Amino acid sequence: MVWSTGGVCVSKAFVRFRVRRDRTGFITAPARMDGRPRWGESSMAYFLSKNSTNVRNNNQSSQSWLDGLMDLFHPWSRERHLLAEGRRMYLEPERAVAPPALPEPAGAMVLAVPGFTPHIASRLWGAERGEAAPLVLLAHGWEGQVHDMLSFVQPLLNAGARVVAFDAPAHGRSSGDETNLLEMARAIRAVAAAAGGKVAAVIGHGLGAAALTLAIQDGFQAGRAILLSPLADLTLPLRQIAYVLRLDLDSEHALGREIDRALGQPLAALHLHGDEGTPALLIHSADDRITPVADALQLASVWPGAGMHLVQGLGHRRLLSDAGVIERAVGFALRGE
């Protein structure tokens, strides 16, 4: 990791903070004098992406000087600007869409998900096996898509399962511009119902794992749950955004109220604890710099009977294609091993 001066760079892997005053007069979060990251920066990118820096990266636009001028005459305009940016960062994922020619396991059919708005792009493998075959649902993470989970499809098919995967709202080829954890949990239930039959297991990654957990707590019958790099502290993204935008405590609380209104309920009231009737396996890489490994450990500690499997060197996304992780996940999903 390299820490230097000259601006702000936010990626899916990590956030680099560097001292600079932009043209609007905003000052980015300062780096330490020794170049090492400040507290919390190693995991400061869960909800932040290249798209999340649009406002900061567009400071060279013709609008930037006007924003700075407004700050001189209207001190409240800076806070309004930052709250709007914080809300966007929390609710609007950067959309990733795989090229149509990208190979995927054969035999997929487009699955209609009736009665759910926005439109959900969903695919089902093994439909010809009928609803008697065990169904495994795959849920990708924030700013992900179906193709993130494809490494699990063929091994599950080889084991005799049906597999359903979908682009979450505002992700991939699904419609919508904004989404949140609650909507992702509702989408999971709708996709499972559209696929038909009893769900034997669910496999989720990142925020998709959190959405699965929330759906299970709300009564969704998931069979077994395999959670990869799960987010357990649901206020973490809000704190990350407040840190990046240098919000004071009052502004952070104001942003929290904006998010509460978008969710339709207080974010702080949402707690993940699992369900004792759903066997669970949590898999997390100790070097994950997107979701702290402490999240998985905390969730495993409150989920009755949950198993914890720690790996090394796979970060946040590489575990999705690791042969050992896939074998362990498939074995637990279909055989409880």
| Count of domains forming the chain | 2
Q: Are residues 84 and 150 in the same domain?
A: no
**b vs e for 121-153, b when ≥16 Cβ sit within 10 Å of the residue's Cβ?**
bbbbbbbeeeeebbbbbbbbbbbbbbbbbbbbb
Query: Within a domain: residue 258?
Result: no
Domain carrying residue 191: 116-234+270-335
Same domain, 207 and 281: yes
pLDDT tens for each residue of 216-257:
999 999 999 999 999 999 999 999 999 999 999 999 999 999
pLDDT digit string, tens, across residues 96-144: 888 876 788 888 999 999 989 889 999 999 999 999 999 999 999 999 9
Check the CA dihedral 198-203-208-212 and report its sign. positive
Q: Is pLDDT above 80 for 319?
A: yes
26: left (phi over 0), alpha (psi -120 to 50) or beta: beta
Q: Against a cut of 0.85, is the pTM above it?
A: no
- Say how far apart CA 329 and CA 335 lie, in whole Å: 10
Q: Are residues 143 and 78 in the same domain?
A: no
Residue 245 lies in a domain: no
CA neighbor of 208 nearest in space, from 143, 120, 278, 304: 143
Q: Looking at per-residue confidence, does 337 or 185 come out higher?
A: 185
Asked if 71 and 216 sit in the same domain, the reply is: no
Asked whether residue 247 is assigned to any structural domain, the reply reads no
For residue 317, being part of any structural domain is answered with yes
* Residue 243, in any domain of the structure: no
Q: In this structure, what CATH number is given to the domain that contains residue 153?
A: 3.40.50.1820
